């Protein structure tokens, strides 16, 4: 099968909107998964060049005694200062997108039809350039705030800081082929995700199987 017959579907969205749950639905529909969050953890493992660059820029305050990255300290620094967040992204994104590209090529060579590129910073990292279609999961601010506080053990101030560091809702809507609004609970989210999966499969048939 030609690599052109592999559909790369980007999945992104606002923090706390339910992207990870939506991803599970797509995996159940036969999509293979590239998890950019997991890749972002792998590229900062001890001994990796990305981690060395982070230490050089942010200093030893983000280094654990065993030489690993103190993610909590780094997050506190980055999300309190827009310029430092931009610097964090500038350092990490090239390493992440390089690995994403390699995994896309792998799945293309394997003959996979549907690759789900699950990335919270899909647009900021330019990984969106790899995608044929893009899905964004969004939700109302109060709902996301409560989810983030519960999920990550953050204060309201910390949760709002993370939310405000992201792109606005209008951006996600305008830049996406499909938008899933998750305001009505798990069952509704799963149903909406399945609907989008069906639409993507229909699109694939129309595009490649004429």
Taking Cα atoms as reference points, which of 41, 39, 20, 36 lies closest to residue 147? 20
Residue 46 counted as domain residue:
no
Residue 136 counted as domain residue:
yes
* CB atoms inside a 10 Å sphere around CB 176: 22
Residue 71 counted as domain residue:
no
Q: What global pTM score does this model have?
A: 0.92
Domain count, the chain: 1
The C-alpha angle 9, 13, 14, rounded to 5 degrees, equals 170
Tokens of 116: 């789900």
What pLDDT shows up at residue 4?
66
What pLDDT shows up at residue 207?
86
* Domain region containing 173: 3-39+96-208
Residue 28 counted as domain residue:
yes
Residue 128 counted as domain residue:
yes
Nearest 5°: phi and psi at 33?
-115, 130
Residue 73 counted as domain residue:
no
Residue 76 counted as domain residue:
no
Residue 49 counted as domain residue:
no
Q: What is the CATH number of the domain that holds 161?
A: 3.40.50.300
What is the residue-level pLDDT of the chain in tens, covering all 210 positions? 445 699 999 999 999 999 999 999 999 999 999 999 999 999 999 999 999 999 999 999 999 999 999 999 999 999 999 999 999 999 999 999 999 999 999 999 999 999 999 999 999 999 999 999 999 999 999 999 999 999 999 999 999 999 999 999 999 999 999 999 999 999 999 999 999 999 999 999 998 875
For 121, the 3-state DSSP assignment is coil
The full DSSP string for 19-45 is HHHHHHHHHHTT-EEEEHHHHHHHTTS
What pLDDT shows up at residue 3?
55
What pLDDT shows up at residue 1?
41
Taking Cα atoms as reference points, which of 173, 174, 192 lies closest to residue 182? 192
């Amino acid at each position: 099968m030609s690599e052109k017959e592999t559909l790369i579907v980007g999945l992104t969205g606002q923090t706390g909107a339910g992207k990870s749950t939506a991803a599970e639905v797509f995996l159940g529909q036969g999509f293979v998964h590239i998890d950019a969050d997991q890749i972002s953890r792998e590229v900062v493992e001890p001994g990796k060049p990305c981690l060395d660059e982070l230490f050089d820029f942010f200093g030893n305050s983000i280094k654990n005694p065993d030489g690993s990255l103190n993610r909590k300290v780094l997050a506190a620094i980055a999300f309190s200062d827009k310029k430092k967040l931009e610097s964090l992204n500038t350092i990490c994104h090239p390493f992440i997108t390089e690995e994403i590209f390699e995994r896309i090529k792998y799945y293309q060579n394997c003959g996979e039809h549907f690759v789900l590129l699950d990335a919270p910073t899909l647009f900021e990292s330019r990984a969106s350039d790899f995608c044929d279609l893009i899905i964004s999961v969004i939700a109302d601010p109060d709902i996301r705030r409560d989810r983030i506080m519960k999920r990550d053990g953050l204060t309201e101030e910390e949760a709002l800081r993370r939310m405000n560091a992201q792109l606005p809702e209008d951006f996600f809507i305008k830049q996406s082929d499909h938008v899933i609004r998750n305001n009505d609970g798990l069952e509704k989210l799963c149903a909406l995700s399945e609907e989008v999966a069906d639409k993507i499969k229909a699109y694939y048939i129309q595009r490649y199987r004429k």
